[in-house]
Chains A and B, each alone.
Chain A
Amino acid sequence: ETGVTQTPRHLVMGMTNKKSLKCEQHLGHNAMYWYKQSAKKPLELMFVYNFKEQTENNSVPSRFSPECPNSSHLFLHLHTLQPEDSALYLCASSHYTEAFFGQGTRLTVV
C-alpha cells in the first residue's frame, strides 16, 4: 500500500465506450501525474498537475482527457480509444522529496 490508490485495477472497454480512470491520494502531495506503460516501450509521461493546474501535456491525443478537481484526486477520461491505447496506466503523486505510485490500471481496448 503506497497511499496512492487507482481504480479500477483492470478495465476492458470497446472503442466506442466512455470510461474514466481514478487516482486518489491523501498524502498531502501537491503534484499528480499520469503515465502510460505499453508493452516493450519506455514509460511515457502523459500529464502533470501541480496544485490542481495542468503543467504538462506531452502531446497526448484528445481522446485522453485529464481532470484534477482537487489536490487529492486525478481522473483520466477515456473516449473513442484505439486498440493501441491498451496499456498499464500509472498514477503518481509527489511533494518535495517524496513520490509514490499507484498499482496501475490495466486497460484493454477491444
Chain B
Amino acid sequence: AQSVTQLDSHVSVSEGTPVLLRCNYSSSYSPSLFWYVQHPNKGLQLLLKYTSAATLVKGINGFEAEFKKSETSFHLTKPSAHMSDAAEYFCVVLYNQGGKLIFGQGTELSVKP
C-alpha cells in the first residue's frame, strides 16, 4: 500500500540551530513529493516540491529537502531555525498512478529561544 511516514511527531530545537524533519515514503515510480507548513489556525503553505528534476530542492524561508531514491526519503532541513518556523509540517506524496495524494502524519516543530 502507498504510504508516507514522518518519523517524528514532535521536534524541538533552539533558535539558530539546524532543523531536520524526516519523511519516508513507499516506493513508486516517479512520485512527486512536497513539504507543506501549517501555522496555527491557518491553511497549508507550500514550502517546496520535488518533481524529478534536481534531487536537492530549495524552498521558501531557507528550507531545503533532498530526494534520495535509494532510501525512499525526502527529509526537510534548515541550517538555522527561527522562532517563526514553529508550526506543523507535512510531507505529502503524489503517486501519479491513480492520482493519489497522501499525507504524512505531521511533525510539530517547536523553536526555543
A94 B101 Cβ-Cβ under 8 A: yes
Stretch at the interface among A18-26, A60-68, A75-83, A98-106: A98-106
Q: Does B12 contact A (CB under 8 A)?
A: no
Q: Does B105 contact A (CB under 8 A)?
A: yes
List residues of chain A with CB under 8 Å of any chain B CB: 2, 30-31, 33, 35, 42-43, 45, 48, 50, 55-56, 90, 92, 94-104, 106
Q: Does B27 contact A (CB under 8 A)?
A: no
Chain B 34-65 interface residues, beta-carbon cutoff 8 Å to A: 34, 36, 41, 43-44, 46, 49, 51-52
B101 A97 Cβ-Cβ under 8 A: no
List residues of chain B with CB under 8 Å of any chain A CB: 32, 34, 36, 41, 43-44, 46, 49, 51-52, 90, 92, 94, 96, 98-103, 105-106
B44 A30 Cβ-Cβ under 8 A: no
Across-interface contacts of A31 in B (CB, < 8 A): 99-101
**Minimum CB distance partner of A56 in chain B:** B100
- A55-B98, A104-B43 as given contacts; A99 in contact with B103, CB under 8 Å: no
Across-interface contacts of B96 in A (CB, < 8 A): 96-97
